[in-house]
Chain A
Amino acid sequence: MTETAPQPAISMAQPEDFFQLLKPRVMSLVIFTAVTGLVVAGGDIDWISAAIAILCIAVGAGAAGALNMALEGETDALMRRTRGRPVAAGRVNKNDAMTFGVILSIFSVMLLGMTTNWLAGGLLLLTIVYYAAFYTLLLKRRTPQNIVIGGAAGALPPVIGWAAATGQAPWQAWLLFLIIFLWTPPHSWALALYSAGDYARAGIPMMPVARGAKSTRLQILIYTLVFVPVAIAPGLTGMGGLLYLAVSVLGGFGFLFLAIRLFRSRAGDQPDKAEAVGREAALYDVRAEAKPARNLFAFSILYLMALFAALLVESVAAIPGL
C-alpha cells in the first residue's frame, strides 16, 4: 500500500488544514439537515440553545470526518478525489488528526448534552462512533453494501436536531432519517460509477468494483423506486405542506427519469478517461458515457437540498410572529 506523503519532523500544518479535516462540504449538508430537523420539530427550545446545538452537531460531524481522514490517510492518498486531503497529502500528522477528532468529539457531545438533553448528545455520539469506527474501520473495506449501512451516520443529523429541540425522536424524525438513508445509495453509487478506478486502486469494494457497472445501475434504479415514494411521504402525512408535496413529486419524477436514463446507459462500463491518465479531475468532469451518472449525482444533491429547504421554509412560515 502507498504511504501518505512524507511529513516534516516539525509540523507545518496551518489552522486551515485542521479546518479541512472537518470536511466542511459534508458539514454544510449536516448543518442544513440538522437545522431542518430542529425547526420542523417545533419544540420550545430558545434560539441560543438551538444555535449551540447546531454548532455541536456540526463540530461532532466534523470530528467524525477528522477521525475518518486520520484512519484513511493511506487510502485517501491513492484516490484522486481525496489525495489532497490534509493527512493524505502529509500536511497534518495522522496522530494529530486523530487527537483533534477525539477532542472535538468529546467536547461536542458533552456540550450538546449539557445544553439540550442527553438523547441528542447520545445520538451525536452514536453518529461519530458509527461513522469513524463501524463504517470506516469495519464496513468500508469488507462489503459492497458499505455505503448502504454506513449511510445511517449521514442520515442521523435531522434526528439529532429533532431530539435537541424536543427531547424526543418520534417517527417523523425517523422519516427524515429514512429519506437521507435511502437517498445515499443512488447518490454514492452514481459517483462511484465514474470513480470506480479510484476505488479499485484503493481496494475499496464499492458496488461498481465488486459487482460491476450493470448491476450497480440496476440497484440505483431499484433504490430510486423505493426512495422517491419515501421522499414524497412527508407531503402526505401532514409533515410537509403543498410546497413540499410539489417539490418532492416534481423532483421525484426528475430523479426517476435520470435513474432510468442511467440504467439504460453504459455509464461505468469503461474506466473514465481522466482516471486513465490519473490527472486531478473535477467531480463533474467526466467522459460522455459517464454523463448520466454525473447528472444523477448532481441532481441527487439538488433534490435532497430542495426537499429539506421546502420543509424548512414551511416550518419557519408556520412559526407564530414570523
Chain B
Amino acid sequence: MTRLTPEQLQARNKRNLAIAGALVVFIVLVFGVTVLNLKRNLDARAEAIAEGRPVGYAG
C-alpha cells in the first residue's frame, strides 16, 4: 500500500473538500430549481382554476 507524504495528503484533502463543497452547491441548486418549478406549476394551476380553464399538467 502506498503511504502518502504530508504534501500529498494535504493536496488530497483540499481536493476532497472542494468536491464536497461543489456537491453541496449542486444539491442546493437542484433543490432550489425543483421548488421553483413546483411553485410555477402550482401558480399556473391556481390561475387556470381561477379562470375556469381545465386543469392539466404543465409542459
Is B50 among interface residues, defined by CB-CB distance under 8 A? no
| Cβ contacts B1-36/A at 8 Å (1 or 0 each) | 010100110011011011000000010011011001
CB–CB B4/A10 < 8 A: yes
Is A295 among interface residues, defined by CB-CB distance under 8 A? no
CB–CB B15/A111 < 8 A: no
Give the one of A11, A13, A115 with max B CB within 10 A: A115
| Cβ contacts A36-51/B at 8 Å (1 or 0 each) | 0000000000101100
Is A12 among interface residues, defined by CB-CB distance under 8 A? yes
CB–CB A114/B18 < 8 A: no
Residues of chain A with a CB closer than 8 A to B4's CB = 10
Name the contact of A46 in the complex, choosing from B17, B30, B36 (C-beta under 8 A): B36
CB closest residue in chain B, given A112? B33
Is A257 among interface residues, defined by CB-CB distance under 8 A? no
Instruction: Decide if the interface of chain A is mainly helix, strand, loop or mixed.
Output: helix
CB–CB A111/B30 < 8 A: yes
A114→B32 CA distance, assembly (Å):
11
CB–CB A107/B26 < 8 A: yes
Is A149 among interface residues, defined by CB-CB distance under 8 A? no
Residues of chain B with a CB closer than 8 A to A13's CB = 11, 15
CB–CB A115/B11 < 8 A: no
A49→B26 CA distance, assembly (Å):
14
Residues of chain A with a CB closer than 8 A to B36's CB = 46, 48-49, 115
A9→B30 CA distance, assembly (Å):
36
Inter-chain residue pair count (beta carbon < 8 A): 41
CB–CB A14/B8 < 8 A: no
A107→B4 CA distance, assembly (Å):
32
Interface size on B, residues (CB 8 A): 17
Residues of chain A with a CB closer than 8 A to B33's CB = 49, 52, 111, 114-115
Residues of chain A with a CB closer than 8 A to B29's CB = 52, 55, 111
A46→B2 CA distance, assembly (Å):
51
CB–CB B37/A12 < 8 A: no
CB closest residue in chain B, given A55? B29
Q: Whole-angstrom distance from the CB of A53 to the nearest CB of chain B?
A: 10
CB closest residue in chain A, given B26? A107
Is A18 among interface residues, defined by CB-CB distance under 8 A? yes
CB–CB B30/A10 < 8 A: no
CB–CB B18/A12 < 8 A: no
CB–CB A18/B18 < 8 A: yes
CB–CB A12/B11 < 8 A: yes
Is A15 among interface residues, defined by CB-CB distance under 8 A? yes
A86→B44 CA distance, assembly (Å):
48
Residues of chain B with a CB closer than 8 A to A111's CB = 26, 29-30, 33
Name the contact of A10 in the complex, choosing from B8, B14, B17 (C-beta under 8 A): B8
Give the one of B2, B8, B33 with max A CB within 10 A: B33
A15→B26 CA distance, assembly (Å):
17
A12→B8 CA distance, assembly (Å):
6
A85→B7 CA distance, assembly (Å):
21
Residues of chain B with a CB closer than 8 A to A15's CB = 14-15, 17-18
Q: 13 additional contacts, CB 8 Å, given A13-B11, A48-B32, A52-B29?
A: A10-B8, A11-B11, A12-B7, A14-B11, A14-B15, A15-B17, A46-B36, A48-B36, A107-B26, A111-B29, A111-B30, A114-B37, A115-B36
- 17 sample A-B contacts, Cβ–Cβ < 8 Å, listed by A number: A10-B2, A11-B12, A11-B15, A12-B11, A14-B15, A15-B18, A18-B18, A48-B32, A48-B36, A49-B33, A52-B29, A52-B32, A107-B26, A111-B26, A111-B29, A114-B30, A115-B33
